[in-house]
Amino acid sequence: MSERTLYDKVWDAHTVQELPNGQTQLFVGLHMIHEVTSPQAFGMLEERGYEVAFPDRTYATTDHIVPTDDRSRPFDDEQAEKMLSALEGNVEEHGVEFFGLDSGRQGIVHIVGPELGLTQPGMTVVCGDSHTSTHGALGAVGMGIGTSQIRDVFATGCIAADKQDVRRIEVTGTLDEGVYAKDLILTIIRQLGVEGGIGYVYEYGGEAVRDLGIEGRLALCNMSIEGGARAGYVNPDEKTFEYLRGREYAPDGDDWDEAVEYWRSIASDDDAKYDDTVEIDGDAIQPMVTWGVNPGQVIGIDETVPEPAETNDPEAARKAQEHMDVSPGDSMKGVDVDVAFLGSCTNGRLSDLREAARVLEASGREADDGVRALAVPGSQTVRRKAEEEGLDEIFKHAGVQWREPGCSMCIAMNGDRIEDGELCVSSSNRNYVGRQGSENGKTVLASPATLAASVVRGEIADPREVFG
């Protein structure tokens, strides 16, 4: 069993009691909700006549079903309108703060929490969404939960949880120019497998992780779940504190010093004990692109699609290659691109938009005629800042559509989707069959820079060549 890690400390500080069913009752420091998974839980709450126990620790936004073009109400999609109205009614009735469409702060739940300073080191953060692992980038323990657990949190401020093992992932060296946190996490998932993290929480550390900015760490922790780990975190450091300073919900005044002291104290001790340790060579990582239908089916841009027999699940690999219409020995570089989706809770932050814009500018080129490209900022805050820097002009000039914030084509619930057999280079986190709205569509996961390079070339391209 792990000892003296951040996870152990946070777990202990939030333990209310051991439950008779063998689980631990864990207090929830921050509960984020959105329109898709909360209404049923509110319904169950009302069935029992309970109120929300800790409304002050609960915050809502809307992301999955919101249109990214015409947002006038009522929405064209009746069901989407119904879901958002239901959320609006519920937050009103239960006294929960809501970052709605006209708040100036609406956005993808995992972007909004950190950027408003709601997410803080040492907290337990839960949300009815598997990418809650994202919040670990600030030294919190973020866990995705199901609908009955959302009800638990509403009614009791707690979840019933089982403690996981802790795996330390030590990333040595430095990432090359053109290589990002996204490439790092895809490398980790390839190495450990999409189920490798089951039963574990991942602690990311080492030189390459320390060097990442907070937004890179958010992308890294975001995809812990694609590697099978319910949560992933980075120990808080000076960068974390600087990131939080001055944010709307971060502590200030005297509280600030007290907070920083506490945040330092909850980081893993130097002599912490881990259940497992893995080392990753950061120097060796290239820009990564997926060739299959899960995030572990991925190669460096200079590599070729593997023989199914060389993968850890040959049968799945064979099917994936059939779906993606690629063969062993093929290069992904040069494959025709129809759609590009820049956004999502993985790579929809300011630094992601900047990197993509930088590639567009460096190439001096516009989107290839054959490519339909969308830039969807992760939140209204991100959108505003990007516009202040003129990034929107770079995108528009390059022929990339500049949209309103939401999950958009990451999950294709809002009308943004790929059609038929289109191939989409996506900065999101899941390339499952049908994920982007078309059963025979193809998704290639990549970093924003690789995406931008592919947009100008009209085919999958190496961002390092466009820079060079």
Partner 1 sequence: MTDDRKAVRRVAGTGVPLRGDDIDTDQIVPARFLKEVTFDNMGKYAFYDARRDDDGSLNDHPLNVYSGNVLVVNDNFGCGSSREHAPQALMRWGVEAIVGESFAEIFADNCKSLGIPTVTLDADAVDEIQTRIEEEPETPLEVDVEKERVTVGETEYDANIGDAQKEALVEGIWDTTALMRSSLDLAKETHDELPYTDW
Query: What is the distance of C-alpha 253 from the center of its chain?
Result: 31
* 82 is an interface residue for partner 1 by CB under 8 A: yes
Q: Is residue 427 involved in binding ligand SF4 (CB under 6 A)?
A: no
131 binds, among partner 1, ligand SF4, none (CB under 5 to 8 A by kind): ligand SF4
H helix runs in 160-252, sequence order: 181-192, 207-211, 214-222, 238-244
DSSP state string for 414-425: SS----TT-EEE
Number of residues located near ligand SF4, criterion CB under 6 A: 13
**Is position 147 an interface residue for partner 1 (rule: CB under 8 A)?**
yes
Residue 2: phi and psi, rounded to 5, are: -65, 155
Q: Does 152 bind ligand SF4 (CB under 6 A)?
A: no
Q: Which is nearer to partner 1, 232 or 282 (CB)?
A: 232
Q: Which of 52, 158, 201, 221 binds partner 1 (CB under 8 A)?
A: 158
Does residue 345 interact with ligand SF4 by CB under 6 A?
A: yes
The CA distance from 99 to 76, in Å, is 21
Q: Of 157, 292, 377, 405, which lies in the binding site for partner 1, with binding defined by CB under 8 A?
A: 157
CA distances from 438 to 126, 235, 245 (A): 30, 39, 43
Note whether 248 binds partner 1 by CB under 8 A.
no
User: In the complex with partner 1, which residue's Cβ is closer, 80 or 456?
Assistant: 80
Nearest to 88 by CA among 102, 72, 105: 102
Of the candidates 3, 4, 25, 318, which one interacts with partner 1 according to CB under 8 A?
A: 25
- Report the residue number, 6 or 342, with the smaller CB distance to ligand SF4: 342
| Burial environment of residue 329 by CB neighbours within 10 A (0 to 12, 13 to 18, 19 or more) | exposed
Enumerate the β-bridge partners of residue 99.
Answer: 61
Among 6, 52, 83, 324, contact with partner 1 (rule: CB under 8 A): 83
| Site for partner 1 contains 86 (CB under 8 A) | yes
Neighbours of 73 (CB within 10 A): 9
129 binds ligand SF4 (CB under 6 A): yes
Contact between 131 and ligand SF4 per CB under 6 A: yes
Query: In this structure, how many other beta carbons lie within 10 angstroms of the beta carbon of residue 434?
Result: 12
* Six-digit token string for 54: 């800790």
| Rounded Cα distance, 223 and 194, in Å | 10
Listed in sequence order, the residues at least 6 apart from 417 whose beta carbon sits closer than 8 Å to its beta carbon are 409, 436, 437, 438
Q: Which long-range contacts (CB under 8 A, 24 or more apart) does 310-319 make?
A: 312/193, 316/292, 317/292, 319/293
DSSP helix/strand/coil, 42: helix
Q: Which of 8, 11, 29, 372 binds partner 1 (CB under 8 A)?
A: 29
Q: Are strands 158-161 and 24-27 parallel, antiparallel or unpaired?
A: antiparallel
Judged by CB under 8 A, which of 3, 4, 40, 193 binds partner 1?
Answer: 40
Report the partner that residue 82 touches, choosing among ligand SF4, partner 1, none (CB closer than 5 to 8 A by kind): partner 1
Site size toward partner 1, by CB under 8 A: 50
Cα angle, residue 424 at apex, residues 144 and 385 outer, rounded to 5°: 65
Other CB atoms closer than 10 Å to residue 99's CB: what's the count?
24
Question: What does 407 bind: partner 1, ligand SF4, none (CB cut-off 5 to 8 Å by kind)?
Answer: ligand SF4
Angle (nearest 5°) at CA 37 between 7 and 231: 15
Per CB under 6 A, the segment of 181-189, 192-200, 362-370, 406-414 that binds ligand SF4 is: 406-414
Neighbours of 256 (CB within 10 A): 15
Question: Which does residue 463 bind out of ligand SF4, partner 1, none, counting CB within 5 to 8 angstroms by kind?
Answer: none
Residue span 325-344 as binding mask against ligand SF4, x where in contact by CB under 6 A, dash where not: -------------------x
Q: Is 226 in the site for partner 1 (CB under 8 A)?
A: no
397 touches which of partner 1, ligand SF4, none (CB within 5 to 8 A by kind)? none
Sites for ligand SF4 among residues 31-70 (CB under 6 A): 63-64
Scanning 192-200, 242-250, 386-394, 403-411 for contacts with ligand SF4 by CB under 6 A, the matching segment is 403-411
Q: Which residues bind partner 1 (CB under 8 A)?
A: 13-17, 19-23, 25, 27, 29, 36, 39-40, 43-44, 48, 50, 53-54, 57, 65, 79-80, 82-83, 86, 120, 122-123, 130, 146-149, 151-152, 155-158, 160, 251, 255, 258-259, 262, 413
Q: Which residues bind ligand SF4 (CB under 6 A)?
A: 63-64, 108, 110, 129, 131, 344-345, 407, 410-411, 428-429
